[in-house]
């Protein structure tokens, strides 16, 4: 399975085809689904191109995607730094409707960030699936010490240079996976920047689901700048050597 991460916390000037507006994000979603992605992860933006958790921006972006690609599953970010602080984040996310009311299907929650468990509970109460973002072995240990491994829609093992310790992305991913143990939820493994392609190839060989997109890397394995998100997905499928598979999606309630 390949998830496409379309825009992340990148600045619009980072890449000429980084989708920012709801319409551009929807068109990018159509393109990556046609290229072979099963679902998308997006960071909604405001009218100035800044990431936003405000209900109107989240619902507007999700709605634009569903209008163009009705059946795709949509994940959004709740990372620290989008809202001014933890209280503002909880307040804004608490205003989101569930998927049937125009909200996202699921949202990522970084387990090392303050208030992660409370935020996950707010999402689940709205019928929004929780993707547990695990960046370090310590975060993995904290995650498995709760009942969330049995409630999360999936676990995202995320290795990020400068945040995840280690000089090798696959080694860093293995350490997190060892701390995570046997997960009752599906596990997706990905890296960012210099680790994006090496980790993706390692994860595919190891049987994990993966993700790719302009949030994780702007370049192909050759070093050439990717034309767009769809080219990254097509390249990932080529290296993976197979068609994507669908996850079973648990009832969040």
Distances (CA, A) of 171 to 156, 159, 199, 218, 235: 16, 10, 9, 23, 23
Q: Does the residue 241 lie in any domain?
A: no
183-234 pLDDT, tens digit each? 999 999 999 999 999 999 999 999 999 999 999 999 999 999 999 999 999 9
Beta carbons of 58 and 52 less than 8 angstroms apart: yes
Span 109-116, mean pLDDT?
Answer: 97
CATH code, domain carrying 81: 3.20.20.70
Lowest mean pLDDT among 70-74, 151-155, 240-244: 240-244
- Give CA–CA dist 78/109, Å, rounded: 6
- Count how many domains the chain has: 1
Q: What's the predicted TM-score (pTM) here?
A: 0.92
Is residue 247 one of the residues assigned to a domain?
no
Max CA-CA distance within the chain? 44
- 246, part of any domain: no
Domain that holds residue 148: 2-236
Judge whether 251 lies within some domain. no
Residue 215 inside a domain? The answer is: yes
Q: Does 252 map to a domain?
A: no
Question: What backbone phi and psi angles, to 5 degrees, belong to 62?
Answer: -60, -40
């Amino acid at each position: 399975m390949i998830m496409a991460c379309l825009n992340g916390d990148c600045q619009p000037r980072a890449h000429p085809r980084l989708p920012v507006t709801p319409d551009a994000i929807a068109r990018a979603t159509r393109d990556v689904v046609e290229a072979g992605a099963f679902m998308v992860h997006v960071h909604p933006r405001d009218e100035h191109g800044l990431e936003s958790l405000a209900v109107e921006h989240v619902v507007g972006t999700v709605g634009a995607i569903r209008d163009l690609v009705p059946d795709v599953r949509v994940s959004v970010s709740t990372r620290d730094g989008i809202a001014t602080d933890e209280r503002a984040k909880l307040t804004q996310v608490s205003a989101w409707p569930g998927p049937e009311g125009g909200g996202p299907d699921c949202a990522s929650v970084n387990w090392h960030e303050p208030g992660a468990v409370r935020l996950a509970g707010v999402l689940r109460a709205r019928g929004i699936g929780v993707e547990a973002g695990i960046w370090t072995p310590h975060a993995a240990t904290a995650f498995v010490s709760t009942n969330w491994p049995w409630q999360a829609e999936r676990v995202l093992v995320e290795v990020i240079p400068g945040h995840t310790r280690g000089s090798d992305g696959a080694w860093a991913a293995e350490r997190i996976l060892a701390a995570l143990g046997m997960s009752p939820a599906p596990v997706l493994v990905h890296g960012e920047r210099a680790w994006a392609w090496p980790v993706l190839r390692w994860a595919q060989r190891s049987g994990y689901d993966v993700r790719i997109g302009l949030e994780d890397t702007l370049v192909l394995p050759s070093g050439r700048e990717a034309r767009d998100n769809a080219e990254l997905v097509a390249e990932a499928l080529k290296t993976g050597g197979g068609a994507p598979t669908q996850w079973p999606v648990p009832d969040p309630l």
